[in-house]
Structure 1
Amino acid sequence: MLQLAKPTPFSPAQIRETVQEILASGVLPPIVQAGHPVLRQQAAEYSGQLRSSELEELILLMRRVMHDAPGVGLAAPQLGIPLQLAVLEDRYDVDPETAAVRGRAPLEFLAIVNPSYQAVGHGSAAFYEGCLSLQGLQAVVSRPDRVHLDFTDPGGMPRQQEFSGWQARIVQHETDHLRGMLYIDKAELRSLSTNAEYGARWCHPDIRLAGQELGFLPDTPSA
């Protein structure tokens, strides 16, 4: 059972000061790595701690950091900001077989505020997953293959949307960050691989070979 993370100790003023310092630096901030306390805290709900112009500027900066990494999602805690905000975008070219097996379709840029998700149905899928805050590692994570997301857009409008396949995985991964969870909390640890080993051995559309060779989920398909 996953342990519930403690709420961030940051006050609204501290959150705003942190954001202002990052925005004023004029450089892309580093991505916080595992072991930093902010990644293990429940981020504060966004409730107007920032001016609308600051929120817009932060979202643009997060998108730049995500592209520079590169990645398909980034949560505010990954920049040391304990605020329930994340950006998502997946426009990378993937070979057709991999895209079909993983249910990977392009995801247009989306900024989500105060998100929460629920599984839709009982389907799940297990694939290798990485994180910009655990550089150099990947592991297999089983997640619901379809989710319903409740969130607020940057303009303050409540929204609901369903995601499936790889998009659902991105949504869950980034929303988990805002609850103080990392993908390794849900991973099959016997699958843990460096990026080099993953690239050399396990970067197949599904996880069957990795499961057989590394001794996890030997008879379970990837979806």
Structure 2
Amino acid sequence: MIYPIVVYGDPVLKKKAEDIEKGSVDVKQLAEDMFETMYNASGVGLAGPQIGKAMRIFVVDGEPMDEEKLQGFKKVFINPEIIEEDGEEWAFEEGCLSIPGIRAEVFRPERIRIHYFDEEWNEHEEEFDGLAARIIQHEYDHIEGILFTDHLSGLKKRLLKSKLTNISKGNVKADYRISAPLKK
């Protein structure tokens, strides 16, 4: 099932998501639907809040970025917790399916250690670096109620204000179905 992507301005994107109780949701089906939604929108990551679900789940697949280190980097993260972030902060131009048409440089630490469950409820603790770490950090921010635009300077945010308002009204071109909070 392909969900519409919730865009900027919807309160679910600014809310800290809730842990998923084992057995309360068919996480395998939800993850499958999230991958289908993400691929339909040409994304490399998608979090629960982006499909209107305030749940601590996100999916990633870095292969479309055509980076050798990201080949086979396809995972489901349930109830994740970033335990540690370290290394040099580095800039990379990020975009977001919930903020179509806007990209900006965001600085993030180069390495993370994360604890999570997969769709089989197997427990993991792993380290990631480079673009894999960045994709995870971006999606993790979503379940914490943080958008990549929240990492930008006040000036940059003010310059984007009218574009962001248009997105929340649904006045934006996206190649996928969106759910805009202020659309008339």
2:58 to 86, 103, 107: 86
Aligned mates of 2:65, 2:116 — CA distance in 1:
28
Tell whether the 8 Å contact from 2:20 to 2:55 is kept in structure 1 after alignment.
yes
- State whether structure 2 residue 2 is matched by structure 1 residue 37: no
Q: CA deviation at 1:120?
A: 4.2
2:79 to 114, 118, 143: 114
| Residue of structure 1 in register with 2:146 after alignment | 181
Q: Please give the per-residue CA displacement for 1:17-66, whole angstroms capped at 9, x wherever unaligned.
A: xxxxxxxxxx5221000100100111110113634xx2211110100011
Structure 2: gaps spanning 5 or more residues: 164-184
| Residue of structure 1 in register with 2:112 after alignment | 147
Report the AA paired with residue 145 of structure 1. E
Q: Please give the per-residue CA displacement for 1:100-119, whole angstroms capped at 9, x wherever unaligned.
A: xxx96335210000112144
1:138 to 103, 124, 128: 103
Per mean C-alpha deviation after superposition, the further-off stretch among 135-144 and 149-158 is 149-158
| Residue of structure 2 in register with 1:9 after alignment | none
Tell whether the 8 Å contact from 1:88 to 1:107 is kept in structure 2 after alignment.
no
Tell whether the 8 Å contact from 2:115 to 2:126 is kept in structure 1 after alignment.
yes
Report percent identity of matched pairs: 33
Q: CA deviation at 1:157?
A: 2.2
| Residue of structure 1 in register with 2:89 after alignment | 124
C-alpha RMSD of matched pairs (Å): 2.2
Q: Relative contact order (C-alpha < 8 Å, sep 6+): which is higher?
A: 2
Q: How many residues align?
A: 159
Report the AA paired with residue 99 of structure 2. L
Q: CA deviation at 1:156?
A: 1.9
Aligned mates of 2:132, 2:30 — CA distance in 1:
23
| Residue of structure 2 in register with 1:209 after alignment | none
Aligned mates of 1:168, 1:106 — CA distance in 2:
14
Aligned mates of 1:179, 1:156 — CA distance in 2:
21
User: Greater CA radius of gyration, 1 or 2?
Assistant: 1
Measured at CA, do residues 82 and 70 of structure 1 come closer, stay the same or move farther in structure 2, by a change above 3 Å? Answer: same
- State whether structure 2 residue 57 is matched by structure 1 residue 58: no
The residue matched to 1:60 in structure 2 has which SS? helix
* TM-score, length of structure 2 as denominator length: 0.78
| Residue of structure 1 in register with 2:156 after alignment | 190
Displaced runs of 4+ in structure 1, greater than 4 A? 191-194
1:72 to 44, 47, 66: 44
Q: Please give the per-residue CA displacement for 1:145-184, whole angstroms capped at 9, x wherever unaligned.
A: 1111111112222211111101100000001100101011
Aligned mates of 2:50, 2:16 — CA distance in 1:
13
Aligned mates of 1:48, 1:159 — CA distance in 2:
15
